[in-house]
A and B are shown apart, each in its own frame.
Chain A
Amino acid sequence: MVLLSIAACSDSGVQLSGADTQPVSGVAPNENSSTPGTNVTTPPATNVSATTGSLTIDAAARDASRFLMQATFGPRESDIQEYLRIGTDAWFEQQFNAPVSRTYAYTRANSNGSNREARHEIWWNNVLDGSDQLRQRIAFALSQIFVVSDVDRVLANRQFGMADYYDMLAENAFGNYRELLEQVTLHPAMGVYLTHIRSEKANPALNIRPDENYAREVLQLFSTGLNLLQLNGELVLQGNTPVPVYTQTDVEEFARVFTGWNYATATRFDSVSIAVSDFETPMVPVDEFHDFGEKRLLNGMVLPAGQSPRQDLEMALDNIFNHPNVGPFFSRLMIQRLVTSNPSPDYISRVASVFNDNGAGQRGDLQALVRAILTDSEARTLSIADTENFGKVREPVIRLAHVWRALNAVPGPQSGGVHRHADLSLERLDELTGQAVMRSPSVFNFYQPDTPISPSDTLVAPEIQITTEVNSARVHTNFHHQLYRFTTDTDLGTDNPRVTLVNLDRPASLAADTSDLIDWLDLVFFAGAMPDSLRANITSVIRPLSSNTSGRFARAQDALFLAFSSPSFSVQR
């Protein structure tokens, strides 16, 4: 087994990812990007078998890389090194206490409210360089559960509200589910997206009823799901039939709860000028339009007549929060975003138990939940990782972020300091991958949690839903363009000077010995699980190339291209 001497490489002058810049919280992209195109073309020689601080690709290193794939937007070499140095507990402490990278201020400063690119620019900057990697990863996961999307024609022009909503998710990532649910419910972006803002009590004379949209989706998608679950996530069955958590009548009752809420700054309820409406301040109650009647909710809870809109809302959210389905339902969704698409019932049960009680009697503690998911034996045991159904198809956006992070990507020389992909701007990335932050086609996210891996299969793989032919072809071609056209060492000539450039110095420095290069790729991009056939494939392609300077660069290019184009790179085990 080849030793990779990461610390020694640092000593010998190789630039390590992140070693040269302090991650800055939520800063404008053009403030913390280095000037591209000035990198030294000739990589410094590196002694890969140096002795100081050497790192073997052993179980610990593989686990570190795996852990960081599950918990961040992809490990850089330096991240693996740091994690191994400080250990899991200290890493969590660091992450729980890191300052929150936000998107609002930058979006406010760089968008007119309708320009969508700014929100994506700052989001990419945060996930690439933010020190709060875990928080950002959780916020991205939450944005795929408590979905709002600016594909909606109103929200398309409310970029400040969209950014504020995302920051709210990030701020609550390590908070409590109940508080998160309330902030989600009262956020005007959600009010507009699921249309409970300005929903009013029934008017029987006109056959008008309260809006049922949020009432239904908050139950089905955000909290309990459709059917009763056991603690381990398996269905409760009566005979062979699932048991619904709620009926249409329950939806109608919750719809009555959510009546009488409006924009904080609106002066009228029935006709609101969108121009003056405030998308950043939580919605406020308006008594006149609230249904003050008695309401019967889940598990026999009765809201007495005459309560204020806020009393009704607080009690209804308590009612949802305390439903026993929330633990297993929400835990499974979060495990699927981070670790594996098909968690065992025991895994769900262990995590759901932490949701139900964090050990100090508190329900809904998200910090405890996140730690439980990532430290669970099922997430951490390598022999389980190597079983045929374990893991998940990596989200395409996270794969792209990983490539940029691990290859020290810098914005193109004429980019104005913001990132851009070869073929499309950031806000249109969904057209390339099927996914871009808060641009899902509907409240059902980019993919659904029960998508079978192939028709009628019991194995699920949500992300397979966007692994379509057209997306696969476009992502493949994007990697081709990234590696052969847009690196810090290629002469852009007349090519697009706005595209982000990757830096291949580090892999090129290892390429004198093909197995050193491939070991590095294996550790950083495959968490040590690169299939032997891919290793052999890459070797056969790059071995004929020279080991001089340009040959080493060519070896790095070809090896990375074959690695990123391989099906195994799309899967996290």
Chain B
Amino acid sequence: MATSTSNRIDTKRRKLLKAFAAMPAMAGVSMMGAPVPTVNAQALSNCGPRSLVCIFLAGGADSFNMFIPGGSRYDDYRTVRSNLAVNEQSLLEATDTRLGPIAFNSMIDSVANLYRDNRLAVIANCGPLIRPTTQQDYLAERSLPQSLFAHDAQQRLWQNGGGSVASSAGIGWGGRIADYAARCNMGSEVSPAFSISGTNLWQSSINTDYITLRALVPVRNMDGYNNISDWIPTDRLSRISRALVAGNNDAISRSSFRMEQEVGGAYERALTATTNLRSALANNPVSDFRFNTNNKLAGQLHYVAQLIAAREELGMQQQVFFVQMGGWDTHSEQLGRLPALLSEFNDAIGGFQQAIDRMRKSESVTSFTGSDFGRTLTSNGDGTDHGWGGHAFVFGGAVEGGRVVGTLPDYSPTNNADDTGDQSGQFAGRIIPTISVSQYGATIARWMGIPESDIPGVFPDLANFSVSDLGFMRT
């Protein structure tokens, strides 16, 4: 056991040393034992309890059928969406002080209710942009994000936090937030960042590795480590435990092969996670968050809810979560597929927010959606294709909700200046965003306590926009 503990500290120390190199303001942390809480006051002035949840809708969600314009704009919407339009009987109406009547698809009543409760804001027509971009810019190919309309490229831009491929292309803005969160969590050996949906760019960071868990799979012991095994005879077990740890240490610190180092790091983080999370998760089952186990997003968000409930027990101030729901690439059968997707999304976020409310942590938990891109306003017969701008939702007790941030695009198929147009100059319904991901992300990052002086480094394109904070977070 002693071997395994010092091993964990060794790895953490390596990570911290890298962090120290970047942030010389920090001092006074014991390298070998418990951290000493004498860190630079200014660096940690924003360390209130905060948990941030990124809900990524992979494949390009048809957000134009989630949030729908009201009043006269609805007629344009209905015309342009033809056979895919949500009819008036299936709308939940609400209002925005600037726009007047707006509506949500009745399949997402949790979203509508949070909006009416002033705890959810709609970020209208958002997407990766390098700078404010007009139809003329698009046609002249001026300062356009690379590989528009391609899933992976646009996911990368969303999660990287801008429209241009930054020099830190492999880093996500969630990872940058996690770097700050890690400094607030000196009482914890575990990373502040958790993905319940596999590897992602959004949480990638040089200094802070995130932990990947899987929905519905409890954290279990890694048999053979820590002298735990029901099957290895006890006279052999302790030697094996020591050798397993030594083997990882060798791979991480002595192997000259990069891939072996990385695999060793994954084993070691897995062990750290199992050792540190098991009891905290067991103590915080959040069993009042009930969900259908077929609802994969709810399963992920349940894990998030458990970790948020265990936040203090884990010695954490701040946490950064990534969950993801796939299946949104509705090129065909949209009329059949989209309702099922919306229903899953709706049940998951509704149940999650209720669980957070019951924990009385609403003020310290903010969730937001992102997606590859919005989809075409036009139909391809029974589905929609890859677009650009789309609507996003941000919700929680710290959100200035009940309003639409930004402007709605023109939904009309004639003389539409918000549209990229198709090959023959006809209307295509690929909408040019009017809010950039960097503006959206920077507003959230400030709430997580990233100092203003560091914001431009995280969102390099932000300087091209006149508004750097969209004002939807209470601080």
Residues on A lying within 8 angstroms of B by beta carbon are 151, 153-154, 194-195, 198-200, 203-204, 206-213, 216, 220, 226, 242, 244, 248-249, 251-253, 341, 388-389, 391-393, 431, 434, 441-442, 444, 447-448, 451-457, 459, 461, 464-474, 476-477, 480-481, 484-485, 531, 533-534, 537-538, 540-541, 544-545, 554, 558, 561-562, 565-568, 570-571, 573
Contacts and interface: CB of A to CB of B under 8 A. Distances in A.
Contact of A566 (B221, B251, B258, B337): B251
Contacts of A472: 263, 266-267, 270
Contacts of B212: 468-471
Nearest to A459: B258
A453 B262 CA distance: 7
Contacts of B250: 531, 533-534, 537
B220 A554 contact: no
Given A441-B326, A452-B170, 4 more contacts: A207-B378, A212-B385, A471-B212, A571-B263
Which 6 A-B pairs rank lowest in CB-CB distance, beginning with the nearest?
A: A468-B212, A456-B170, A567-B251, A484-B231, A195-B332, A567-B263
Contact of B217 (A154, A242, A431, A545): A431
Contact of B251 (A213, A242, A452, A568): A568
Contacts of A468: 195, 198-199, 212, 266
Interface string B148-165: 111111000000000000
Contacts of B45: none
Contacts of B259: 341, 391-393, 453, 461, 464, 570-571
Contacts of B195: 468
B272 to A, nearest CB: 9
Nearest to A447: B199
A477 B247 contact: no
B440 interface: no
Interface of B: 58-59, 79-83, 146-153, 168-171, 175, 195, 198-199, 204-206, 211-214, 217, 220-224, 229, 231-233, 236, 239-240, 243-244, 246-248, 250-252, 254-264, 266-267, 269-271, 273-274, 326-327, 329, 331-333, 337, 376-381, 383, 385-386, 413, 420, 422-423, 426-430
Nearest to B413: A207
B239 A457 contact: no
Contacts, number: 252
Contacts of A442: 58-59, 151, 326, 329
B377 to A, nearest CB: 8
B240 A469 contact: no
Contacts of A154: 333
Nearest to A242: B146
Contact of B380 (A199, A431, A444, A451): A199
B405 to A, nearest CB: 28
B449 to A, nearest CB: 21
If over half of B's interface residues share one DSSP class (helix, strand or loop), that class is named, otherwise mixed; here it is loop
B243 A541 contact: yes
A391 B259 CA distance: 8
B260 to A, nearest CB: 5
B152 A211 contact: no
Contacts of B377: 207
Given A206-B83, A213-B331, A213-B385, A571 B147 contact: no
B379 A469 contact: no
B381 A216 contact: no
A455 B205 contact: yes
Contacts of A456: 168-171, 204, 206
B380 A567 contact: no
Given A199-B381, A208-B381, A253-B423, A484 B332 contact: no
A200 B381 contact: yes
Contact of B247 (A389, A461, A562): A562
A470 B175 contact: no
A554 B270 CA distance: 27
A301 B420 CA distance: 25
Nearest to B170: A456
